[in-house]
Amino acid sequence: MELKIRKNGDVYIIDVNGEMDLYNSYKLKELVMKMLEKNVKIFIINLEQVDYIDSSGIGALIYICSTIKKMNLKLSIANIHGSVKKVIELTKLMGYFPISNSVEEALLMVKE
Amino acid sequence: MEQEEIKELRSDDNDPLFDKTNMLCKIFPSDFRQIRYFTLLIVQSAPTEIKELNLLEQQISEVIKNAVKHGNHCDINKKVTVWYSFSPTHAHLIVQDEGEGFKDIEKWNDFNRKRLECLHRQNFEELTNYVSFRTKQSDDQDGGNALFAALEYWNGGFVYNGKRNAVAMLKKFQQKRHGVNIDGE
């Protein structure tokens, strides 16, 4: 799994590339925690290049989402598709996560 | 009030899903690093007509992970045994470890009931307390959500044996008409 950060104004977009599984999901969690330490306030997690997620990956997203909610900061998760979407639907968390269909839509969502 | 069906984990030695007739079998050491590899060894015998093979792979991987990690505590000397049978219309597996058994089934069911109540009421604030099931053994890598999805995914049943160290599961796939894909893909 590869993680790349790009910036759009004060929004930090994390592009995730690869599989969010039991061996590497912690990397995304660690990256977001480091960014929080550096006072990043607005996040977009782009899952366009993620075709596989398991319960550890969902767990990482839950942890990130609940931490950011508690701190009253902003997050949107963009481009959930395919089996990733199916797994999130099976856990019934589609309504829990702040989801957007594209990075553009996510930018509008976090800037509201 | 509209009542949603509440699926529960259960344990029953006599459940027909524990009938191993005509099932293939593989035995693995409890090597955490190889969980996905072991899963692929099983899934490679599934027919390619099955749609969403990687979702099937993911769901099987979760059950093998539970056996390796929570059942056998990654003790390389303890084995995980997987019986399996696939066809274009079904996936049937039994995964057994050498552990003490999943003691917290009742706690899990209680937790899941509360989770489903929050979802039913769309109370996402309270839901935060019920998104991840934790036990004393849980660590940071445990998502705590695998069994929520398992109960939904395994639509033909997901049942533990009496000792709770084996779980049997069945997924029924919609049959495609001969030469025609109903979903039009």
What is the reported pLDDT for B140?
Answer: 82
What is the reported pLDDT for A19?
Answer: 97
Please name the member of B127, B141, B152 whose beta carbon is closest to the beta carbon of A22.
Answer: B141
Sheet holding B10-11, edge to edge: B10-11, B157-160, B166-172, B90-96, B79-87, B24-29
**Does any CB of chain A come closer than 8 Å to the CB of residue B55?**
yes
Question: pLDDT of A51-104, one tens digit each?
Answer: 999 999 999 999 999 999 999 999 999 999 999 999 999 999 999 999 999 999
Q: Which of B141, B152, B185 to mutate to test the interface with A (most CBs of A within 10 A)?
A: B141
Report the CATH number that the domain containing residue A49 is assigned in CATH.
3.30.750.24
Range of the domain at A38: 2-111
Alpha carbon of B132: minimum distance to chain A alpha carbons (Å): 7
Whole-angstrom distance, CA of residue B141 vs CA of residue A62:
12
Rounded to an integer, the average pLDDT of B122-143 is 88
What is the reported pLDDT for B184?
Answer: 43
Report the percentage of chain B scoring pLDDT > 70.
Answer: 92
What is the reported pLDDT for A71?
Answer: 96
Please name the member of B33, B58, B132 whose beta carbon is closest to the beta carbon of A52.
Answer: B58
Sheet holding A2-8, edge to edge: A2-8, A11-20, A42-53, A74-78, A99-100
Question: pLDDT of B135-166, one tens digit each?
Answer: 888 888 888 899 999 999 999 999 999 999 99
pLDDT at B21 over 70: yes
Per-residue burial over A19-58, b if 16 or more Cβ lie within 10 Å, else e, is bbbbbbbbbbbebbeeebeeebbbbbbbbeebebbbbbbb
Question: pLDDT of B61-76, one tens digit each?
Answer: 999 999 999 999 999 9
Whole-angstrom distance, CA of residue B35 vs CA of residue A23:
10
Structure tokens at B144: 């705590």
Chain A residue set in contact with B, beta carbons under 8 Å = 21-23, 25-26, 29, 51-60, 62, 66, 69, 83, 86-87, 90-93, 95-96
Q: Does the distance separating the beta carbons of A96 and B36 come in below 8 Å?
A: no
pLDDT at B3 over 60: no
Q: Per-residue confidence at B81, pLDDT binned at 50, 70, 90?
A: very high
pLDDT at A16 over 70: yes
For residue A110, list its beta bridge partners: none
* Helix (H) or strand (E) run with residue B53 in it: helix B53-65
Q: Does the distance separating the beta carbons of A91 and B52 come in below 8 Å?
A: no
Task: Name the domain count of chain A.
Answer: 1
- What amino acid occupies position B42? I
**Does any CB of chain A come closer than 8 Å to the CB of residue B64?**
no
Question: pLDDT of A26-59, one tens digit each?
Answer: 999 999 999 999 999 999 999 999 999 999 999 9
Please name the member of A29, A52, A91 whose beta carbon is closest to the beta carbon of B149.
Answer: A91
Instruction: Enumerate domains of chain B plus CATH numbers.
Output: 10-102+142-172 (3.30.565.10)
Q: 3-state DSSP call for residue B60?
A: helix
CB B61 within 8 A of CB A54: yes
The predicted model scores a pTM of 0.93
Structure tokens at A24: 């590497």
